[in-house]
Every structure is written in structure tokens, then in C-alpha cells.
Structure 1
Amino acid sequence: MKKNKWIALVMIGVMTTVIGCSSGNGSDNAGNNSNATGEGTESAQNADGKFEPPITITTARPVGSDYTFINGEDINNNVHNKWTKEKLGIEIKDLWNTTDNGAYHTKLRLSLTTQDQLPDVFIVQDQNLIADLIQSGKVKDISKDFEAYASDRIKKLYEENSASLNQVKKGEQLLGLPIFSAGDGTNPVLWVRQDWLDKLNLKAPTTIEEFETVMDAFTNQDPDGNGTKDTFGFSLSGRNGFSNWMSDVSFIFGAYTGKFIPGTWQQGSDGTLKYGSVQPEIKSGLGKLQEWYKKGYLDPELAAIDEVKATESFIQGKSGMIAAPFWAMGWPLGDVKGTNPDAKLRAYPLPTGSDGKSARYTGYINEGKVMMFNKDFKHMDAFFLYMDKIYDNQFETGDFKDGFFEGYDYAIVDGKPEYDSKKFPTPLEAAASSSKYNLFWNVPAIPFQGSANYDYMFNGGEPTTRAHKEIMIQDPEMVRAGALNYQMAGINAPTEFLGAPTETMRNKGDNLKTMELETFAKIIYGNESIDKFDSFVADWKSKGGDQIEKEINEWYKSVNP
């Protein structure tokens, strides 16, 4: 849950104002459509757009340690719910809550086989469950409602990112709504122990060859000065895959492919989608990792540890480099100071291949997050009014132009918004997470606007927006890292398959993924020769991979006629 907390805190600061795509705050558009075709037309709105009498929208969510409440509030009784009722005439009611994502999705899945009521609106972040809900007949086709009730600026966002809708389409039906994240917030940069570089008189690596030189020094030249050979070069995770939001290693493969990375589907030279993990150049990346593992440059447990666990070797001062998001300096990498107060972190571009080739992990623009609707929900007009109001935060208009709630996530000090909670008139050790109280669990974003702000501020831009001002209070090195993230946008390698899992993927995908992870781990550990990759590719194809590729390309053709 810590991951979500830091993404939330940082992403609040990475959006930019979008000029010219808003019709005010959008409330006129929603209000004027109150008699349009679609359900919800029986709801009465007054001249201010408020529903009278109030209507109720039910939901459910995981509420974990990443939620911070003040003033004795909780998820059912808080400043956001009070505002929604008083301002919009919408009463939000949680039918149930869980403490984590896993339990939440398990409870949702049970609703498909029991008579348990689905909430009116609910988030889903499980691709198989999204597909099952689409087939269940229990979720609503919102295609007409979207046209009738979404504000102009909301429509523009989805028009500009229309590929995201493919994951919730069934023929002409639109059975959900992707909820956007920044899209570039989890892309890795290279974090290095600068104090180790300085001590050993090394330059930051720019190529794979230079990266290898630095790893060797960090492994064999006692960079921590304790007189013991107890350090290594690079921390990475292979437990869940070899392209990760944290402790990433995708750029090593990208240095050989220039495009394909493990675990993603991308367009090949023939115009069809190809699976990255079985491309020939991946073999070279595995061979290099095998060589480095044998030399002791890598975490000895790399295949057994997940993305967060893999950072511990870096935090504890055992390794000197890690590929992680620009905001990771705050959490978890900043914890290295607890082990060594003199540790100095520095962000650098990811090393490239000798011929300049490069590619890196790139998150989804909605991180798999979809809002779905109970088929019996009759207030889509109210939902889209609410959604547009929440987007006031990102467009810096309306009630939320400075932040969500004064005294919670910002305060006015000397006539200006202040975002450092310790400087509030009533200081807070930590700001309330009021940006998370909404139906979307977080601030829905304007995709790909975030890191541009960091680049602007890093290069001396004058702060003119709330996003700029929020960046100003962040650690200068994190701002620099955000600018590097923006500058590396040309090597992003997002998957181009955004549809629901195909039939063969659902039947055989887990086994194929397990085979892939086990084979890659055995090769890296030296338990199998590098030539095992060739037999893996043949097995992957014959055991369902070729059929999956066929099905995925049928989908790709259907959404790109």
C-alpha cells in the first residue's frame, strides 16, 4: 500500500493545466443534458446543478494504511462526502470496505456467483475480472450515457486516449470507463549511490559496457569502506517478471532489442503484435544477465523477491544501483539514509546499447484501473457531473483549483495556497489524503502531462500553476529525476495489447508465464545454458503462444480496422 501512497502524493504534483479543452468546469454541459437520451433523466437538478432531493450512489473500496484521516473522520464520514452532498446533492455510501486490493477483488468476484449486490459504481484492477464482468451481464453499457452526460473536456480526454477504451468494449457496447493515471509516473530512471561513484572516482554509466564497469567496481572495490566484500552492483526483481514498476531490468533487454521488452505486446515490422519475451534479441539480454550473476554483480535472490523487496538491498547499502521511478527517492529509496545518513542518491538516464538502442518499462495510462457500473444504476447523469467536478483539480478550475479541501491537503497562507502540511495554520505532520476519498480512489489524471512539468521547472521555468508550485517543495534531486523521465519518453515501450485476456490466455496464460519466469531465472542463475532460450521459445509457441498471438492480433485488427 505504500506504493499507492507515494504515487498518490507525487501524482498530485505532476499534472499541468490544460488550456482550451474545457467548457468552464463542465457543470453546464452535464446540467443541459438532463433531458438527453439515457437513464437518469428522472433526476431533478436545480439551477446550480444540484440534485434535489439528494440521490445516493453506492460504492466499495479497499481502505488501507495509505489513507490518512483527520478530525475524527473515516471513509464514510469525511469532508469529501459532506461536500458531495451539500454541493451536488449526491450522497456517497460505501456498501463495504476491505483492507487490501486482494480481498476487495475477491469479494467482487464472489458477486458474480452469488446474489450479493454489486455497488452502483466500483473500480476493478484485475484484467480477468474485468473480462468476467463484461461477460456476466451484470454491468452497464454506458455508451449512450457517455455521449449524453460527459462534459466536453472529459470527452476530449477520452478521445485523445481512445485506445484505452478497447479493454472495456464488447462490440458497440462500452462496459466501463478507464480511469487515467499520469501514464509516465512509473517509468524507471537509474538511481545510483553517488557517494560510491565519487569515492571510487567513477563516472555515471551511459552505456551497458560502462554500466558493467561500475557494477564491477561496486562489487569488488569496497565502496562502503567497511573492509568487507559485501556489496554488489545492481538490485533487480524477477519474481513477477522482468519489466517492473520498481527494481526494473527491462532496459537491459531494450539495449539489445531497441523496442521489445519482456512481458509486453508490441508492433513488429509486419504491423502485427509480437510478444516481447520471445523475440530473438532477448537471448542476448539473458546472456548478459547470466554473465553478471556469475560475477556477483546482481542480487543473489533476484528471482525470488518482488519489486519492493528487491529494493531492500539498495536501501540497506548492499547494492549501488537500481532502476526505479523518479519519485522513488521519497519512498522507498530515501530510506537508505536510515542505514547511512551520508548516502547520496543521484538519478541518471538508463544506459543504452553500444549502438544506442534503448527501451524501458512503461506503465498503462490507467494502470489497469477501470470504473464499472451496476446494470441497474440509473444516475449516470449524476456520475458524470461528479466526475467532471473532481477533474476541476487537474484542470485547476472550480472548487478544487488549489487542492481538494483547505486544511486537509492544502491551506491558504498569506493569501496563497500552501502544500507543506507542516506550514498550515494548524500544522499537520502529514496532510489528510482527501484526494483519495473520491470514487476513483485517487486523483484521476490528465495522461502524460506530469513529467513535462518537472522538465519545465528543472530548466528554470517560472511557477504559474498549482502543479508547478507543488513541485517547488519537492527534493531538487527528485525534480531532476522527473525531468530525466520526461527526456527519456522516446524509449518508452508500453504494451499495445489493452484488451481483455483472450480465451487461450485465460486457459494457458498462467502456465506459459510460469514457464517463462522459471526459464529466465534458470538461465540467469546458470542452471541452464543460454541456448535453453531457444527451446523455451519453441515450447511457448507450441503450448499456446502461437494461438494467443493469433487471438490478440484478431483483437488488434478489430480495434484498428
Structure 2
Amino acid sequence: MMPKMKHFFMLTTIASLLIFAIGCSADKGSGNTDSSKKGKENETHKINAIGYTWSEPPAKDGDGLKMLNEKLNIDYDMQFVPESEYNEKLSAVMASGDIPDMIAFRSQGPTRLNYYKFAKQGAFMPLDEYIDKLEYKDYIPSHVWEAMKVDGKIYGIPTYYPAYTLTPMIRKDWLDQLGLEVPTNFEELKEVALAFTNDDPDGNGKKDTYGLVLGSGLSPDYSFGAYYSGSWYHKNDEGQYIPGLISEERKEVVEMLHDLYADGAVTPDFALMSHDDTNKEFYSGKAGIYYGTQYGMSDPNMETLVEIHPEAEVVPIPPFKAPDGSEGYPFEIGYLGLVAFSKADVGNTEKIGKMLEILRLGKQFIPWEERNPDHQDFDWLNGIEGQGYEMEDEKAKTIDKNNQPKSYLIDARGWPETPAAAEDWNSYKTPQLIDLVKKFSEMHEGIEHYADPTAGLISEVDMDKGADLSQILTNAQSKMIGGEMPITDWDKMVKEYLSKGGQEVIDEYNEAIKENNREGIWE
């Protein structure tokens, strides 16, 4: 990845080139009359696309690409770029004057800023008139569609990412051993954490367990709801939304963790603990409270825990009811990225239809029980049984991704009709983990979630200084929890954050919130 300042020097350098390129690209398409741009029936359309990848891309001439071209009657050129190099490559491509028909962007980081800037400069086609015709339109939450807007118009179609974020979970078998219930507020949480530390919840006769796992960067987040979280939920005296990490409400969480740490109920030396370290603390049976979610969990981790404690049962902790009456967790950002269309294709209705069909093919969510050769679309997307995949233990296993049409799609992440329809538990094999993931799904389906009003908006100061500003807050709060800094220095910490750029971040986000008619909402 390029250093932060390099991103901004590059953006400044290419700005005038991009404006010129947009004109050239538009001219490239506008040489046609309106009638010619509609395209001839059965014409083979050339479609260029660019996207990012974390893995080895498929071969340029694989059978999967040939299948895709034949099915849609197109000449499709999909350029995959390693994610770590993508922003630099995309900036150069956009400035070159040869803008691809379909362009992928990440939901966060410098490519997100590029999406915003390029859209404002007129590089992309407004897609509003097509959105209502998408069969998956209503599967995508309204706050995610809002994040696609620039100056009130939708320029991107989002790529699926689970709606629900990481939330706390607890050893229910330990609660049962001690005659306790899943906590419903911070006082009960403190009682449980201290009992896990002092009352031998695993019954081995030793004082070798404790309450909450905590690691560097104050992860996991033990806010137990949007009210106490880092979300932009509260407002300052000027009526501006502020980041939750500087709110008085967040201070209460830090005070609670400070008290528990002093009593030995929080991970010792937590500020030095990596994510792998904190995983080991929980799954080795040392601590009773950690975090999890429906996706990205680990069978080996749960197998380790069950091998040590065969009776282990882990359940989610529902959100606590906040003083304002709210009771729900924040949404995850809700989309991995998005795909924009070049403005040069405006009016070419047949070609646009082909591009939308490329997205539709990838966004099909095929239920787990139907992912077999009997499902025609599944079989085709995966390259036909025996050529692109084979069935093993009733699950599809890739043989050759070069034979799979889905490998060439700019967006191949199916979007389920509802979050529950994702049935993420089907991706695991450990019974205890399957049960936990089902319980996470049930919990999230039964509560409200908070949509942060800043989601999808841009603050250039945040892009430039955000990491350093966040470090000010996490470093200070870590010291407060560990007793190295008095909690009475909270206002001093906030003042430092604001003076070093935080107030500019708040100003920029609130201006964008106002311009886009946003507000924090519960869904």
C-alpha cells in the first residue's frame, strides 16, 4: 500500500488529467447518434472491466471466460489487480483517457475516496433509473443504497458484505456452573466477569480463569450497543454528530473496563495482545467473554476449545438497553465495495443491459442445499461438474477456477434476500460452532441495528489523519483502563483529538451529512 500522503499527491496530480480523460472517454462514446448508441440487436459488445483481488487471478483465456462470453454474447475483458496495488493502478487507468466500462471500488480506504472524487467530476453514469429494475434491489439495505450516492445520485451498485458486526459472546456452561444468567447490563456484566475470575467456573480447583478478553486497539469492543459504541450516535453542544470514542457515554465503558482490569478480570498486558493472541486466550479456555459473529469464524479454534472443555457452550450476549431507550447493535458498514459504470456508455441501452446481467449473475444467492449439479445456474457458474468443480461430502470443491465463469465476474458475491437467508452456519462443521452461529443469527434477526450517518461519506482529513487521530484515542483509553492515566484526563484526551484534526473531521462529516440529508437511523 502507498503511504497516506502519496495517495493525496497522486489524486492532486491526476485531477486535471482525469477531467480531460472524462471528456475523451465521453467523446469516445458520444461519436454515436442516440439511435446508434442503442446498439444493434444481437451485436457482440466489447466490455472492459477492472477490479481488485486478494488471490491469484484466473487465466486470461480460461474456459470460464469463454462460457461467459458465449452466454451473454459479449467480448469481456476483466483485469484483476492485486488489492495492495489497486488504488495506484486505478488512478493511472482513470487518468489515461481509456476508462473501463465497469470499475470496482472498495468500501473503505483510498479507492473509496477515488469513487467519490471521480463521480463528482463526471466520470460515471448515474444508475438511478436502473435500480428499481434490479431483482436484488430490495435485498440491499436502504442505508447501503444511501452510501452509493454522490450529490444525490447513485453511481455504484454495492458488493455484498454481511450486515451484522462482531458482538460479544459468553461461556454459557460457565454461567450454568456458577448459577448465573447472561448479563443484561453493565452491573451484571461486572458481576459475571468477577465470578469468572474468582469462582472457578471450569471446576478444576485452580484460580486460572478470568472474565473478558481484551487486546491491542481496545479490541473487542465491549460497548453492548450503539449508544456506547464508536459509532457517530451522539451529538456535541453545537448539534454535530461526533465519533463515539470521544463521547461521555464511551467514558462509562472505559471506567467499567478500568475497574475490572484492576480486579484481574481483564486480559493482563492487553495492550500488547494481537488478534491471534486474544483468540488463544478465549479458545484455550482461559477467559469466558469474547466476541464473534456469523461469518469468518474458525472451526479449528472451536475444536481446540471443545477438546479442552468438552462441555463448552458459547452463546451471544444481546445488546443492553441504553438510557435513551435504544437497544441494538450498530450495523456493519454493509458492503464490501461497489461497481460503477463509465459515463461513456450512457444511452447504449443494450450494452448497459449486458453489464447489469454480468452483475446479476454474480449476485445470485443460491441456497446451500441447492449448491449441486442439479441447480442449473450453480452448475454453470462453477464451470460444470467434473470440469470446474466436483462434489465432496455434499459440498462443491473447485477443480479448476479457470473453467468457472464466476471467476471472471467483477462481483461474484451472492446477495441473500435477508441476512438470515445467508445461513452462514452451513460453512462450518463443528457442532458447537454451528449452534453458536445459528444463535447469532437468531439474536440479530430479533433486534434493531443502528445505521451510522457517516457510512459511505467522505472526509479528506479523516482519510489523511484518521489513523493517527484514532491512535490518540485508543492509546489514551488503553492507559486509562490499565491505570497508567487517570480517567479524569478524559477531557484532555478529547481536546488533543480535536486540536490535531478531529474537529475538522467532525466538521467535514457533518457538512456531508447535511448535504446528503442523512441522519442516524435504526432499522
- TM-score range with shorter-chain normalisation? 0.7 to 0.9
Match of 1:216 in 2: 194
Aligned residue for 1:385, secondary structure, equals: helix
Contact 1:313 1:319 in 2 (8 A): yes
Structure 1 counterpart of 2:84, from 80, 102, 109: 102
> Aligned match of 2:125 in 107, 130, 142?
142
2:55 to 54, 57, 64: 64
- Indicate whether 1:203 and 2:181 are aligned: yes
How much has 1:344 moved relative to structure 2?
2.0
Q: Is the 8 A contact 1:261 1:493 kept in 2?
A: no
Q: 1:75–1:437: 8 Å Cα contact kept in structure 2? A: no
Query: In structure 2, what is the Cα distance between the partners aligned to 1:39 and 1:274?
Result: 51
One-letter amino acid of the structure 1 residue matched with residue 144 of structure 2: S
Matches within 5 A, 1:279-298: 279-298=247-266
* 1:483 corresponding residue in structure 2: 442
Pairing 1:362–2:344 present = no
2:106–2:338: 8 Å Cα contact kept in structure 1? yes
Q: CA 1:509–1:341 in 2, change beyond 3 Å: closer, same or farther?
A: closer
The 8 Å contact of residues 235 and 314 in structure 1, kept in 2 or not, is answered as yes
Once the two structures are superposed, residues 250-290 of structure 1 have per-residue CA deviations (whole angstroms, 9 ceiling, x without a partner) of 31xx4xxx72412x223649875232122212211111111
Equivalent residue of 1:281, what SS? helix
1:443-491 Cα offsets, whole Å, 9 max, x none, are: 24257x123x58xxxxxxxxxxxx699699983443233111211x22x
Normalising to structure 1: TM-score of the pair? 0.69
Change (3 A) 1:309 1:136: farther
Cα gap change, 1:64/1:548 in structure 2, threshold over 3 Å: closer, same or farther? Answer: same
| Alignment-derived partner of residue 381 in structure 1 | 353
Distance 2:487 2:321 in 1: 20
User: Tell me, what secondary structure is at the counterpart of 2:318?
Assistant: coil
**Contact 1:187 1:360 (C-alpha < 8 Å) held by counterparts:** no
3-state SS of the aligned residue for 2:451? coil
1:92 shift after superposition: 4.1
Which letter maps to 1:509?
A: G
Contact 2:125 2:343 in 1 (8 A): no
Q: Corresponding residue for 1:346?
A: 314
- Describe how 1:53-92 pairs up with structure 2 within 5 A: 53=44, 55-64=46-55, 74=58, 76=60, 81-92=65-76
Helix, strand or coil: the match of 1:360? strand
Which amino acid letter does the alignment assign opposite residue 365 of structure 2? N
| CA–CA distance in structure 2, aligned partners of residues 123 and 221 of structure 1 | 51
| Structure 2 residue matching 1:370: 3-state secondary structure | strand
Which one of the candidate residues 409, 415, 428 is aligned to 1:439? 409
Change beyond 3 A, Cα 1:122–1:391: closer
- Residues 340-388 of structure 1: CA deviation (Å, up to 9, x unaligned): 2615232133362696764434202214x12234565674332112223
The aligned counterpart of 1:537 is 494
Pick closer, same or farther for the CA change 1:483–1:45 going to 2, 3 Å: farther
- 1:331 offset after TM fit, Å? 4.7
CA shift digits 1:316-349 (9 cap, x unpaired): 2222221211346555752434752615232133
Secondary structure at the aligned position of 2:104 is classed as strand
| 1:484-534 deviation line (CA, Å, top 9, x unaligned) | 1211x22x2332112443243344433321211111111111110111212
Give the helix-richer structure, 1 or 2. 2
Any idea what SS the aligned residue of 1:57 has?
strand
Contact kept? 2:222, 2:253, Cα under 8 Å: no
2:208 aligned with 1:230: yes
CA distance in 1, matches of 2:277, 2:122: 37
Compute the TM-score of the two structures, normalised by the length of structure 2.
0.73
Letter in 2 for 1:81: L
Could you say what secondary structure the match of 1:531 adopts? helix
- Secondary structure (helix, strand or coil) at the match of 1:393 reads coil
Task: Specify every segment of 5 or more residues in structure 2 that has no aligned partner in the other structure, as ranges.
Answer: 1-31, 519-523
Q: 1:502 to 1:191 in 2, by over 3 A?
A: closer
| 1:266 and 2:233 aligned | yes
- For residues 19-53 of structure 1, give each alpha carbon's deviation from its aligned partner in whole angstroms, at most 9, with x where no partner exists: xxxxxxxxxxxxxxxxx99899354443xxxxx43
Deviation of 1:438 after TM superposition, in Å, equals 5.5
1:248 partner amino acid? D
Aligned AA (1:406): D
CA distance in 2, matches of 1:308, 1:404: 38
Q: Deviations over 1:110-165 (max 9, x none)?
A: 6568899868432323343322344358883211x552x5561358439x745435
Are 1:41 and 2:24 matched, yes or no?
A: no
- C-alpha change, 1:154 and 1:400, in structure 2 (3 Å) is farther
For the residues of structure 1 that align with 2:364 and 2:396, how far apart are their CA atoms? 25
**How far, CA to CA, are the matches of 1:210 and 1:164 in structure 2?**
35
Q: Which residue of 2 aligns with 1:249?
A: 222
Q: Which residue identity lines up with residue 108 of structure 2 in the other structure?
A: D
Percentage identity across paired residues of the two chains: 20
Q: How far off is 1:306 after superposition?
A: 5.1
Equivalent residues of 1:193, 1:344 under 8 A apart: yes
Letter in structure 1 aligned against 2:271: A
The one-letter amino acid paired with 2:332 is G
Partner of 1:526: 483
8 Å Cα contact 2:365-2:415 kept in structure 1: no
In the aligned structure 1, how far is the partner of 2:250 from the partner of 2:461? 24
Alignment partners' CA distance in 2, 1:179 and 1:484: 24
Please state if 1:179 is matched with 2:163. Answer: no
Q: Partner residue of 2:271? A: 303
Within 5 Å, which residues of 2 pair with 1:103-122?
Answer: 103-105=85-87, 107-108=89-90, 120-122=102-104
Amino acid aligned to 1:365: G
CA contact (8 A) 1:502 1:548 kept: yes
Q: Secondary structure at the residue paired with 2:288?
A: strand
In the aligned structure 2, how far is the partner of 1:388 from the partner of 1:81?
A: 16
Letter of the structure 2 residue corresponding to residue 518 of structure 1: N
Aligned-residue CA RMSD in angstroms? 4.5
Q: 2-side partners of 1:308 and 1:77: how far apart?
A: 39
Structure 2 counterparts to residues 183-194 of structure 1, below 5 A: 183-184=163-164, 186-188=165-167, 190-194=168-172
Counterpart CA distance in 2 for 1:230 and 1:303 is: 20
Tell me how many residue pairs correspond in the alignment.
470
Q: Does 1:313 align with 2:284?
A: no
AA at the equivalent of 1:128: P
Q: Distance in 2 between matches of 1:334 and 1:520?
A: 31
CA contact (8 A) 1:290 1:526 kept: yes
Counterpart residue number, 1:152? 133
**Other structure's SS at 2:268 match:** coil
| C-alpha separation in 1, matches of 2:425 and 2:200 | 41
Q: 1:80 to 1:340 in 2, by over 3 A?
A: farther
Whole-angstrom distance in 2 between the partners of 1:366 and 1:39: 36
Q: 1:96 to 1:481 in 2, by over 3 A?
A: closer
Distance 1:177 1:279, change over 3 A: same
